[in-house]
Amino acid sequence: MQETEKSARRLCRSSTKEATRAIANRLVGREEEIARLIAACYRHEIVDYGADDSLSADAAALARDNLEAFLVNLRRGEGLSSGQLKRIRLAAARRVHQGVSLESFLNAARIWGRCTWEAVREAVGDSPGELGAALDIASQLIHHVDVTSTVGAHAYLQEAQGLAGEGHLLPRDLLEALLGREADPDRARRRAHMAGVRLVESYVALSIRGPDPSVRSVVEAARRWLRPPSGSLLLGTRHSEVVALYPVSEPAALQAIKEQAGALAGALAATGGSVGVSRWHPGLSGIALAYAEAREAAHIAAAGGITGRAVCLDEVLIDHIARSTPHVGRILDETLHPLVEYDLRRRTSLVRTVRTYVETGFNLRRSAEVLHVHPNTVMYRLRRVRELSGRDPHDPNDLLMLFLAMKLAELSPERNETA
């Protein structure tokens, strides 16, 4: 009798496994479709997932990978592998850098479980065996969500703790209140009070970014090199970018900030990181504008390969405009290169003379003093510039072209050696 019962149970388990595999097989090939539906639910139901297309794409890819892993495990009767758990941990760590709260991350896991169950229900047939298998799948799905949520939460908290270091990163809602499109100083003050963050009246913004930077190392470097004489440096992460808010009471302190930012950029040069620095804008309402300047400067610097030094928007804007035209090479060839070649061949200083002439406000006598030559020598060199380049330094339009060419060479490392 006992052997008969054991045989019946084995037969039942075998039948359930077969039915489970049959249901799982019906979902194979639909992973991409189901993942897109899950990602759409994320965007609709979770605020953190709705504002960033790159985050949505990352979340959809994780949802697909997670679904593929779940179906494979259903068909094989196995649990999550170490490789699958590792992908969950890495994704959870990324969410810290993408500005997703832990609550939102765990909510995404619950939505994934709900949507996956809906897809499973649609794939279940009418036979008693498959109805019973569906209950078994539901149990396994609950376990899957529980394990992935627990592992992911642990990885998230570890990453967040590592980023926080000695202090705390700004909460996402406070950062958005300061930087976002609808920046609200009063709301920012309330959020800061709730988070225990003391805000001062004015800040200079820095945007630190690069090709796939290690956010944790960037935060650590920012803390090391950015040292306000008073007030606290505020740091936050936004779309894989580190934002630093440097407390400043007056615009005269901007030069000291640029020097510290330059040291930071030098420390990050090996990773290809770019550092953009804003101008000084008074009041908390000026932070959003300051951030927009710093972010654009860092973006242009990164696109132009400018590393190793901090840049302001007005510096790289000229480079950006010049790079956007196909005539840059011709401008350099016709304007600057003849002067550089002449200087190298004759050991003269035509390029330096033009630069000095601009920097001294087009003052011949002052230029001569800086260059330690007679004013007549400056006049002679400017004539030679006109003869060689076809650009007259006394003509405003021609002088602008000369200045633009020199600025391009100055901002482009590969051209620095020739100018």
pLDDT at 114 over 60: yes
Secondary element (H or E) of residue 243: strand 241-247
Q: What is the pLDDT of residue 110?
A: 93
What architecture does CATH give domain 172-312? 2-Layer Sandwich (3.30)
377 or 417: which leads in pLDDT: 377
Mean pLDDT, rounded, of the chain: 82
pLDDT, one tens digit per residue, over 383-395 is: 999 998 888 888 8
Write the Ramachandran bin of 371: left for phi over 0, alpha for psi from -120 to 50, otherwise beta: alpha
pLDDT at 413 over 50: no
67 or 6: which leads in pLDDT: 67
Task: Kindly state the average pLDDT of the residues 336-358.
Answer: 88
> What is the distance between the terminal CA atoms of the chain, rounded to a whole angstrom?
97
Q: How much of the chain, in percent, has pLDDT values that exceed 70? A: 85
CATH number attached to the domain at 325-416: 1.10.10.2840
- Residue 40 makes CB contacts below 8 A (sequence gap 6+) with none
Range name among 25-29, 104-108, 154-158 with the lowest pLDDT average: 154-158
Task: Kindly state the average pLDDT of the residues 15-42.
Answer: 87
pLDDT, one tens digit per residue, over 250-261 is: 888 888 999 999
Residue 260 one-letter amino acid: Q
Task: Kindly state the average pLDDT of the residues 326-342.
Answer: 77
- Residue 105 makes CB contacts below 8 A (sequence gap 6+) with 92, 95, 152, 153, 156
Task: Kindly state the average pLDDT of the residues 18-46.
Answer: 88
Q: What is the pLDDT of residue 416?
A: 42
Long-range CB contacts for residues 163-166, cutoff 8 Å, separation at least 24:
163/96, 163/97, 163/215, 163/216, 163/219, 163/237, 165/219, 165/220, 165/223, 166/223
Every domain of the chain and the residues it spans: 2-164, 172-312, 325-416
pLDDT at 33 over 60: yes
pLDDT, one tens digit per residue, over 217-263 is: 788 888 889 999 888 899 988 766 899 999 998 888 888 999 999 99
Q: What is the pLDDT of residue 188?
A: 87
What architecture does CATH give domain 2-164? Orthogonal Bundle (1.10)
Question: Do the domains 325-416 and 172-312 match in fold?
Answer: no
pLDDT, one tens digit per residue, over 153-166 is: 888 887 776 655 44
pTM, to two decimals: 0.53
Q: What is the pLDDT of residue 1?
A: 46
Per-residue H/E/C for 168-232: CCCCHHHHHHHHCCCCCHHHHHHHHHHHCCCCCCCEEEEEEECCCCCHHHHHHHHHHHCCCCCCC
